[in-house]
Copies of this chain bind each other. A is one copy, B any other.
C-alpha cells in the first residue's frame, strides 16, 4: 500500500487531484474534503467543495467559470429572480439536480459520506471522496462592517471583499470525523494538504476532532502545497485573509500556519528564495511549478509530491 491522502478545499484541491490521478493508482487515493462551506439554501443542502472536487475530476466542470457544470442553464434562478427571491448564490439547473438528490437522500436518513460515494460513482470516479465529517460544521466569518456572517455570505454575497477579524467553525468541536477519515490519514504513505485557503478551507478540516492530532503524529510525511505564490493567492482571498488574521501573505505565512502539522512545504519557483526562512521554521522547502493552469503542470506537481522522501 502506498496510499495518498489529500486534505481538500475546492478549486485548488480539485486541480491538484487532477494531477494526482494521472500519476497514482486511483484506488490508493483518498480526498478528504471540507464541508464547512456547506449551506442550506431554498431548502436544499449544498456542498460546494465536494461538488467542485467531483465535477472537476469527472471532467464536468465548466472550463470557462472554473466552478459549476459544463452545459449549465439558469432557468430556475431566472424564476427565483422573477419572484424577487434570494438570487445571490447562483444555482444552475444541472447543479440543482445534485442538490436535489443530496437533499432527498439526507432526508431519507443517509449520511453525507454515503451520498457522496454515490455521486462520485455516478460520475465514474475511482478514487475515494470523503467529506471530513457527516456532521454540521459551518465556517463563520467575523467582519469589521457586518458582524459575524456565514462563509457563503462572506465569499459570494460580499465577494470576499470585506475586512475579516476572525474565523470560527461552528459545530466543529462536536463533529465526528466521517467513517474512514482518521484511518485514512493514519494509514496513508503520505498526506498532502492541497493549495486551498488555509484559513477557511483547510482549517475547518483540521478543526474536526482527531484530524490535527492524526497529522501531528505523522508530521514528517505531511506535505502542504502553498496556495500563496509571490505574496498572492491564485484565486480567492487567501492572501488578504492571512494578513487580516495577523500573518504574512506569503509562503512564510503559510509555513507558520501549518508549522506543527507538516514536514515539507512545496512552494512555487517564484518563492524559491524563501526556502531558507521556511527551513528555519523546521519545515523542509521544495520549489517547483505550482501554477496548475494545465493538467500537465498538475501532473508534474503530483510527481514532485510523490517523489518527496517520506519521513525526511
Contacts and interface: CB of A to CB of B under 8 A. Distances in A.
A213 interface: no
Interface stretch (A78-86, A153-161, A182-190, A276-284): A78-86
A103 to B, nearest CB: 4
Nearest to A72: B75
Contacts of A100: 42-44, 76, 79-80, 85, 91
B77 A97 contact: yes
A46 to B, nearest CB: 11
A239 to B, nearest CB: 34
B42 A103 contact: yes
A96 B76 contact: yes
Interface string A56-93: 00000000000000001101111110111110000111
B83 A122 contact: yes
Contacts of A122: 82-84
A41 interface: yes
A83 B103 contact: no
A88 to B, nearest CB: 12
